[in-house]
Chains A and B, each alone.
Chain A
C-alpha cells in the first residue's frame, strides 16, 4: 500500500521525470495489444496492455489519476518483455517509460521491512561484487553437494518458502566450486589465425552459476577465430537494478563496465545473455544526462553484439556440427529479440547442426514469463504464461528446448518439470548445444580417421 503522501510524491516525480513526448507519441492505435502476453493472459484487460499502461502513466503525469494501487498493479504485472515495442509503428520506447516509472515508484514507496532488506542485500550487497557472487554460488554448491540439499528436500523444510522459490530451487543448475570460479582466464587465443579480436562480457550470474556456459561461449569464439579478451575489472551489467527500480545503482555499474572495456582495441564486446546484452546496449540511454559519460556509453554500446551474431558473421555454421538425432526448438529471449534485434542468427546456427531437426514453435517470440525476477514476484501470471509456452513446445515434439538467456533457461527447466517431462525433454543454452555439436562432429571425424588408418 502506498500512503496518500507517497502517492503525492510519486505523482510529482512523474511530472518531473517522465518523458512526456514519449508518452504522447503513443497514438493509441492498439496495434501492440495482440503481442502483449499479459493482455492475452489476463483475458484482455486493457489495464494489462501496453496501450493501457502508457495511458495510466500519462494520466498520472496529467493529474487525471493518482498513482494508486491499481496503477501500481498494472505496472508491476508488466513483464518488461518489450514485445510491444517491436510491433509499435509509432516507435514508442515503452521499455524506457516503464523503467522510469518503476524507478520513481520504488524510490518513493516505503516497502515492507523484509522486502527492503532483501532488496538491499541483493541489489547493493551481492550483485555488484563478483567476489561475493562467487561466495554465494560456492555456498549454493556446497548446499547441493554436501547432502544438505537431500536432507532439506526430504524433510520438507522447503515448504517454508513460497511455492515459486521452492520450484526455483529444484531447477538451479549444479554450480561450480569456489576453486573453479577463482581461476578465470583473461585472454584466449584463437584456434585459427585471428579473424576478429573481441572482448567477452562475462556477467555476474553467468560467470558463477552458469560458468560452464561462459566457458563454452569462449571456446566457440576461439573455434570461430576470435582472440578473446576478458577484462577482469568488469562486473554485473545492472539490468536487475535498472528494471527493479534502482537506477542510480545501475548507473554506477554501467560506468564500471564502460571503464573496464573502453581502453580495449576490440571489434565487438560479446554477450551471451539477452537480458544483459540488451541492458548494455542501452547504457547510452541510461547515462544520457551525464555529460561526462554519455558519449563513452554510446561508444561502448555500439560494440555490443550477441555471441550468435558474431558466430554467424564468422561463418561458424559452415563448420561441421553434429549431435545425436533429436528434435530441437528455440525459445527467443525477449530482450535478445526485441532490444538487440537478434532473432535469425540463433536459428541459422541451430539449423546448421546435423542430426538435429529444428522445428519452430508457435509464438516462440512470446515471453516465457521468466522476465528477470518476475517469476518470483508474480508467480501466478508467470506460471500461466509458462504453461502456455510448454503447450506450444510440446506441440513441436522437441526433446531439446534451446534458449539464449539464463533466466529463460531456468524458466524452461521449470516448465519441463511442471509438465512432468523431466525424463524426456531438456533445456539448454544455445552455446552449450553448439559446443556439444562442434565436439560431436569432431568425435565423428576422429573415429573416421582411426578407422581409415587402421
Chain B
C-alpha cells in the first residue's frame, strides 16, 4: 500500500493523469511475458522527464516503496512482475530519439524508444544499430539495456552491451549520475556503464542512453540449410565457427518450431525436415559471397539435404520475421509455454541438442528447440498446461536436468533473458556464494533500502525450482 501522503506527492509530480491506482489499471501491469508470474503493483506512474523520475525515487526511498521500471514487459524472467508491490514506472512519455550524431556515430535516446523505431531512424541515415532481439518490434531500449539483450545478429555484432557508450541514471536516492559518453575511450573511474547494463532495474533507473552506431554493411545474403538430422545441423554450427567464419546470423529451428512458425507466417517454410539453419552474412560483396559458399559447403558436408539462398530481400526479411515470431508462435500449441535460455560454448552445441532430446524423451515431454545457435544460445521450449500439475512436475525435472547439462558443458543458466524473479533461486548455482556476495555488496551500496525492483536477481532463499512457482 502506498501511504496517502506519498500518493499525494507523487501526483503532484506527474499529474493525476499519469498516476493510476485503479484495479484494472494495476492489473495490466501485474505480469510480463514470463508464464506463471503475476502480482499487482500498488500504482502505475508515468513520469515525463528525468527530473520527475528523480523526485519519484526520492519519495519512494523515503517511504520504502518498491520501484519496478518497465519498458514493454516482454522480458522472460519475471523481471517486471511487481512481486513485492510498489509502483510500476512507465517510460511512455520518455520515448524520444534525442539525437543521431552522424559525426561521432552515436544515437542518444530516452529509455522508452522502441528498438525497431531506433533501427529504422538510424538506417535512414545509412547507419546501423545491430542488437535485434526477437521482440524488437515492441521492446524498448531501456529494457534492452537492462536485460543486455541479444538477438539474431549477436554472433558477429555482439549484444546490447557492446553498443552502450553512456547512460544517464537515476539512483535509488534520487541522485542523477552520468556514466561514459560519446568518447571512444574513457577510463576515468569504474566502468559503471557496464555495471548498469543488464542490471535489470535493480541498481537504478536508466533515463537516457548514448548508443554506438556503425556503418551499414554494404551487402547481405541469406540462406536456409535443411537437415534430416538435428545433431548434423548443430554440428554444422560448431564447424562453421571452427572454420573461423563469423556469419551475421546463425539461427537454428527444429521441426516442431518450423511447423508452428509456418502456421502463422505462411511463407512456405519447409516442415518436412528435422531442422533448419538460417544463415546470413553481410559486408563487402566478395567477402559475403566467399563466406556463403564456404558455409554452404560445410552444411552439405554435414548432410544438409538442401542449401538455398533467399532470392530477394523480401524473402530474406520474411525468413527473419518468421524466426522472430518463433517463441510466440510456439505458444499456440498449448496453454502454457515454458522456455529456457541455456547457453553453452559454441563447440558444445551438438551435445546440448542431443541432451535436450534425450531429456525430453526421458520425461515424455514435447520440447521444441530453436535459438541463436551461433551464440551457443538455445531456447528449448516446452508447450504444456500449467493446470496439469503432474506434467508440470515433469517439466520441472526436465529443465533442471537441462540446466545441469548446460553448466556441465561449461555453459550458463541464462544467455540473454536475464535472472529476474524467475532464475533468482538459481543464480548461486552459477556464481557460487562468493560471486553472489560481491554482487550483493554492490546492490547494498547503491540501493540500501532495497527499493529498486526488489525480489529480482537475488533470491530470498536458494531453491531449485525452475517452473513451478506457486
The CA-CA distance from A30 to B29 in the complex, in Å, is: 12
Residues of A within 8 A of B332 (CB): 25, 89-91
Find out whether the CB atom of A25 lies under 8 angstroms from the CB atom of B335: yes
From known contacts A25-B331, A90-B331, infer whether A31 and B22 are also in contact, taking CB-CB under 8 Å.
no
- A47 surroundings in chain B (CB, below 8 A): 24-25, 28
Residues of B close to A89: CB separation below 8 A: 261, 264, 325, 327-329, 331-332
Task: Return A218 CB to nearest CB of chain B, in Å.
Answer: 33
A200 CB to closest chain B CB (Å) equals 30
- The smallest C-beta distance from A71 to any residue of chain B, in angstroms, reads 5
B24 to A71, Cβ gap below 8 A? Answer: yes
Inter-subunit contact B74/A30 (CB<8 Å): yes
CA gap between A25 and B385 in the complex, in Å? 10
CB contacts (< 8 Å) of A88 on chain B: these are: 328
B27/A64 in contact, CB under 8 A? yes
Cβ-based interface call for A43 (8 A):
yes
Interface residues of B in 378-421 (CB under 8 A from A): 385-386
Inter-chain contact A56/B24, CB cutoff 8 Å: yes
Residues on B with C-beta less than 8 A from A70 are: 22-25
Rounded to whole angstroms, the CA-CA distance of A30 and B114 in the bound complex is 12
B263 within 8 A of A: yes
* Chain A interface residues (CB < 8 Å from chain B): 20-21, 24-31, 33-34, 43-44, 46-47, 49, 51-52, 55-56, 59, 64-66, 68, 70-71, 73-74, 88-91
Q: Among A29, A43, A44, A66, point to the contact of B23 (Cβ < 8 A).
A: A66
Interfacial residues of chain B within 94-148, with CB under 8 A of chain A in the complex: 114, 135, 137-138
Stretch at the interface among B30-38, B179-187, B197-205: B30-38
Chain B residue contacts of A51, Cβ below 8 A: 28
18 contacts between A and B (CB under 8 A): A21-B335, A24-B336, A25-B335, A27-B337, A28-B31, A28-B32, A29-B327, A31-B325, A34-B137, A43-B92, A47-B25, A55-B27, A65-B27, A70-B25, A89-B264, A89-B328, A90-B328, A91-B332
Closest 6 CB pairs of A and B: A24-B335, A70-B24, A89-B328, A27-B331, A89-B325, A52-B28
Docked pose: A55 CA to B336 CA in angstroms: 14
B 1-36 to A, binary, CB cutoff 8 A, 1 in contact else 0: 000000000000000000000111101111111010
| Given A21-B335, A29-B33, A30-B74: A56 touches B28 (CB 8 Å cut-off) | yes
- Within 8 Å CB of B328, what residues of A? 27, 29, 31, 88-90
How near does chain B come to A365, taking the closest CB pair, in angstroms?
A: 16
Quick check: is B454 within 8 A (CB to CB) of the other chain? no
Asked whether A90 and B24 contact (CB < 8 A) given A28-B73, A31-B138, A33-B72, the answer is: no
B327 contact set on A, CB distance < 8 A: 27, 29, 89
Complex contacts, A29 vs chain B, CB 8 Å:
33, 74, 135, 138, 327-328, 331
A71 to chain B: which residues have CB within 8 Å?
24
- Taken together as a complex, chains A and B put the C-alpha atoms of A85 and B29 apart, in Å, by 21
User: Min CB distance, B256 to chain A, in Å?
Assistant: 15
Q: Are B28 and A33 in contact (CB under 8 A)?
A: no
1/0 contact string of B75-96 vs chain A (CB within 8 Å): 0000000000000000010000
For the complex formed, measure the closest distance between the CB of A188 and the CB atoms of chain B, giving whole angstroms.
36
CA A31 to CA B33, docked complex, whole Å: 11
Question: How many angstroms between the C-alpha atoms of A442 and B385 in the bound complex?
Answer: 62
Please give, as numbers and ranges, the residues of chain B lying within 8 Å of A25 by CB-CB distance: 331-332, 335
Query: Across the A-B interface, how many residue pairs have beta carbons closer than 8 Å?
Result: 97
Q: How many Å lie between the Cα of A64 and that of B30 in the bound state?
A: 11
Of the candidates A26, A30, A43, A74, which one forms a contact with B73 in the assembled complex, judged by CB atoms under 8 Å apart? Answer: A30
Hey, which chain A residues are within 8 Å of B23, CB to CB?
A: 65-66, 68, 70
A56 contacts B27, C-beta separation under 8 Å = yes
- Chain B positions within 8 Å of A49 at CB level: 28
Contacts A34-B138, A66-B23, A89-B264 given; indicate if A46 touches B74 (C-beta within 8 A): no
Contact between B27 and A30, CB atoms less than 8 A apart: no
Residue of A nearest to B264 (CB): A89
* Interface positions of B from 408 to 450, Cβ below 8 Å from A: none
> B33 contacts A30, CB within 8 Å?
yes
Q: Closest CB-CB distance, B285 to chain A, in whole Å?
A: 32
Kindly provide the distance from the CB of B127 to the nearest chain A CB, expressed in whole angstroms: 23
Chain B residue contacts of A31, Cβ below 8 A:
135, 137-138, 325, 328
Cβ distance B32 to chain A, nearest Cβ, rounded Å: 7
Establish whether residues B27 and A59, one from each chain, have CB atoms under 8 Å apart when the complex forms: yes
Chain A: which residue is nearest B92 at the CB level?
A44
Q: How far apart are the CA atoms of A447 and B23 in the complex, in Å? A: 70
Q: Which residues of A contact B329 (CB under 8 A)?
A: 89-91
Which chain B positions have C-beta within 8 A of A90? 264, 328-329, 331-332
Interface residues of B in 125-176 (CB under 8 A from A): 135, 137-138
Query: Interface 1/0s, chain B 197-233, versus A by CB < 8 A?
Result: 0000000000000000000000000000000000000
For B22, list chain A residues within 8 Å (CB).
Answer: 70
Most buried by A among B35, B40, B138, B385: B138
CA distance A234 to B29 in the complex (A): 47
Query: Nearest Cβ in chain B — how far from A410, in angstroms?
Result: 32
Give CA–CA (A165, B264) in the complex, Å: 41
Query: Scoring B residues 330 to 346 as 1 if CB is less than 8 Å from chain A, else 0, what string do you get?
Result: 01100111000000000
Complex Cα gap A46–B24 (Å): 10
Whole-angstrom distance between the Cβ of A89 and the nearest chain B Cβ: 3
Task: Please indicate the chain B residues that have their CB under 8 angstroms from the CB of A20 in the complex.
Answer: 335
**Closest B residue to A29 using CB positions:** B328
A55 touches B264 (CB 8 A): no
Alpha-carbon gap, A43 to B92, bound state (A): 8
Chain A residue contacts of B74, Cβ below 8 A: 29-30
**Chain B contacts for A27, CB-based, 8 A:** 33, 35, 327-328, 331, 337
Within the complex, the shortest CB–CB distance from A186 to chain B, in Å, comes to 39
Cα separation A160 to B264 with both chains bound (whole Å): 50
Nearest Cβ in chain B — how far from A54, in angstroms?
Answer: 10
| CA of A378 to CA of B385, assembled, Å | 38
Residues on A with beta carbons closer than 8 Å to the beta carbon of B263: 91
- A223 and B362 CA atoms in complex are apart in Å by 64
Minimal Cβ-Cβ distance residue in A for B22: A70
Question: For the complex, what is the distance from the CA of A4 to the CA of B23, rounded to whole Å?
Answer: 15
CB-contacts of B355-391 with A (<8 A):
385-386
Give every chain A residue within 8 A of B25 (Cβ-Cβ): 47, 70
Give a binary string over B46-89; 1 marks a CB under 8 Å from any A CB, 0 the rest: 00000000000000000000000000111000000000000000
A74 B24 Cβ-Cβ under 8 A: yes
* B33 and A28 contact, CB distance less than 8 A: yes
How distant is the Cα of A74 from the Cα of B24 in the complex, in angstroms? 9
